[in-house]
Amino acid sequence: MGKVVFERDDQFANKMRNYQILANEKIIGEVANGGKETIDLEPGTYTFQIKVDWCVSRTYTVDLWETDTMHFKCGSP
């Protein structure tokens, strides 16, 4: 299985809210303020987004291989 790691900066904006992690438009996890979430996924092509309330990040499309570990850094601009 491939791994995807989401790391979130410790920021005042949205401090009390968890960010939802979306893969192919489905919620697969959450990451807290200053937190880190590692998710195991089957190899394939995925689109990733981060969502909080009604705000959604841009979409990132990646090909995940069985031996891959991909890192994404999240935060408020």
pLDDT of residue 13: 85
**Residue recorded with tokens 């069985």:** 66
- Of 28, 8, 26, give the one whose Cα is nearest residue 18: 8
Mean pLDDT for the chain overall: 95
Residue 65 and residue 4 in contact, taking contact as beta carbons nearer than 8 Å: no
Terminal alpha carbon distance of the chain: 32
Pick the CATH number of 2-74 from 3.30.420.40, 2.60.40.10, 3.90.1720.10, 3.40.50.800: 2.60.40.10
Q: How far is the C-alpha of 16 from the C-alpha of 26, rounded, in Å?
A: 22
Report the predicted TM-score, pTM, of the whole model to 2 decimal places: 0.92
Tell me the mean pLDDT in the region 27-39.
Answer: 97
Inform me whether the pLDDT recorded for 76 exceeds 90: no
Q: Distance between CA atoms of 44 and 55, rounded to whole angstroms?
A: 26
